[in-house]
Structure formats: structure tokens, C-alpha cells
Structure 1
Amino acid sequence: MKLKKLAATTVGIGLTLSATVVGLATPALASTSCKTWTSADRATGYGKCTGGVTRFDTHRVKAVCIGPTGSKFNVYGKWVNTRAGETSKAICTTNTSQSGVEVFSLSTETETP
């Protein structure tokens, strides 16, 4: 009987600690701010995030590119440091006028180790 009470108490304490950690981490994660933009010829997409919880926080831009036939494909920029405010770049094409490929939409992906 004592073993069951001990196990129940341990699980209860574990859940309480987990909720506390999540409760503390959530506001800090909300402090990351990101923006995206495209180059004038819509060939390249950029993403920049600032803030972050730790110095190891990273982000990258995800560009959805669209071709002349309407087909879409994804291009990802490299992971860069969020705390340093670095910019990630995804190139859909090097020549939009000849290829007909351009940026359709942009988003950022963030990662906190």
C-alpha cells in the first residue's frame, strides 16, 4: 500500500514540476519576433527573427516557390542564430524573367534546443 502512495505522490510531483517548467517557458518563447520579405524580383525570400530564449536558438526561412505551370516546391534557408538577429535566405531562382519561377509564400521555422 505504501508503495502505491509513493508512486502516486512521485507522479503528482513530476506533473507539477512539468507544468511549472512549461508555464515558465511559454512566455519566453513568445518573445521571439520574426519577419519575412522577398527581393524586388521575387526570386529570393528572407526571414529574420530576433529575441529567443537562449543563445542557441535558431531559425530559418521556408519559401514556397511557384513555377510557370503552377507547380509549387519548397526551398529552405540555412539555420541561423536568432539571438544575433541573423537573416536566413532561400533562393527560388537566379533569374525570374527566364525561368518564370518566383516566391509564392514565406514562413519561418524556429528551433530551441
Structure 2
Amino acid sequence: MPNNESVWNYLSGLLLNDTISFRPDVIAFAEDLYERTEPSRRAPYLVSFLCDILLNNIENDFEPTESFKRVKELYTELITLDPVRSNYWKHQIRVGEHLLERRNHQTAAQ
């Protein structure tokens, strides 16, 4: 059901509050599904779910620089996959930048 937005929203709601980093099985499943799907046929909801995971990683200081690089690539892909929401995806790139900057300032202050 990769093209069913409700499934991805439900999964996000269950996991993203604070436990997604502790569910590598779910992350591995989503990454595997992403890799096995032809780029032009990827569901925007799957790609968006992966972005949510990566933003969560940045917020929780889990490989923030690497997570930002990947999230920026995925949001750029979403601009192509879901052009109706392209301004939203561009905004989300800026959100990721802001989170990374905040993390870097917090790390430097310590």
C-alpha cells in the first residue's frame, strides 16, 4: 500500500513522536521499499515518511549533518514527484536547514 497516504500518516503518528529512532526495523522496511521502487513510481508518501524520519534524526542529534544531506535530496525528489506541493517541499528544506543550524549552535555552545 505504498500509494495510500493514510497508511503512512498512521505509521508516522504511531512512531514519530519519540520512538522512530528506536525502530530500525521500520526504517529498514521503508528504506528497502524506497530502494526497490523505480524512481518515477515512488509514492510521495513513502518519500515524505523518510523525510520525517530524517528530520526527527536532526532534532534528536542523530547524525544531523548526514541526515540533512539525505533529507535535502529526498525533498528535491519530492518536488518532482509531487509538483503541486513543491513550495511546501522547498519550505521543508528550509526547516531542515534551521534544525541543523540550531543543533550546530547548541553543540558549539556546549
Q: Is the strand fraction higher in 1 or 2?
A: 1
Instruction: With the length of structure 1 as denominator, give the TM-score of the two structures.
Output: 0.22
Larger Rg: 1
Higher relative contact order (CA 8 A, sep 6+): 1
Q: Is the helix fraction higher in 1 or 2?
A: 2
